[in-house]
Amino acid sequence: MTSQLPIRKQKLHPVREVNLSGDTWLHQDEHLCVSYWHLPRTESDQVAHTLTLTIFDEAIQIHSKHNAAGERLYWYCDLLEVKRDEGGWHLTDLLLDVVVFPDGSTRMLDLGELAEALEEGGIHPQQAAQALRLAETIQDWANQNAFPPPVVSNWLQAHPDALNFSQYHSPEVST
């Protein structure tokens, strides 16, 4: 991959920065960033692999969640505020998340967290409104069988090897 701009991701409630240094970076341009990350699994968690596709123009970070056999379980979408400056990309997680299942159904998550942050001043009303609009966009795409959006589906079609998870180094888990 060519040189990449740093990406910083901030969560609003509670306020913290998410460390992306463990990701394996596959692609980055002005519109899309693609990375792979692996987290140790628990017995109740079927997710073994995650391919993350950040669409800067749409302010959406789509996590393609897969089981150990490489089968997609669902898409998990973080709704973002995106800014870019000479220091790189700055992503702010707007708390509300949307899951898109293989059958096209959707589920919104963390509505209570968004409401609490809005009441406590942890998120600006304009950010909350943006999160709701983005959630509706994702639901519309899913309802129209247009999910994932073209920038993601086109990249995945052009790079089918990205879903060959055995090529990525998984960190050793110490017990």
What are 88-132's pLDDT values in tens digits?
Answer: 889 999 999 999 999 999 999 999 999 999 999 999 999 999 999
- Is this prediction's pTM over 0.85? yes
Q: Is the pLDDT of residue 166 over 90?
A: no
Task: Specify the pLDDT at position 95.
Answer: 95
CA distance 81 to 116: 19
Place of tokens 């009441």: 119
38 Cβ neighbours under 8 A, 6+ residues apart: 48, 49, 50, 168, 170, 171
Each residue's pLDDT tens digit, 15-52: 778 767 668 889 999 999 999 987 665 555 788 889 99
Query: How far, in whole angstroms, is CA 30 from its chain's centroid?
Result: 17
CA distance 33 to 50: 14
CATH class of segment(s) 7-160: mainly beta
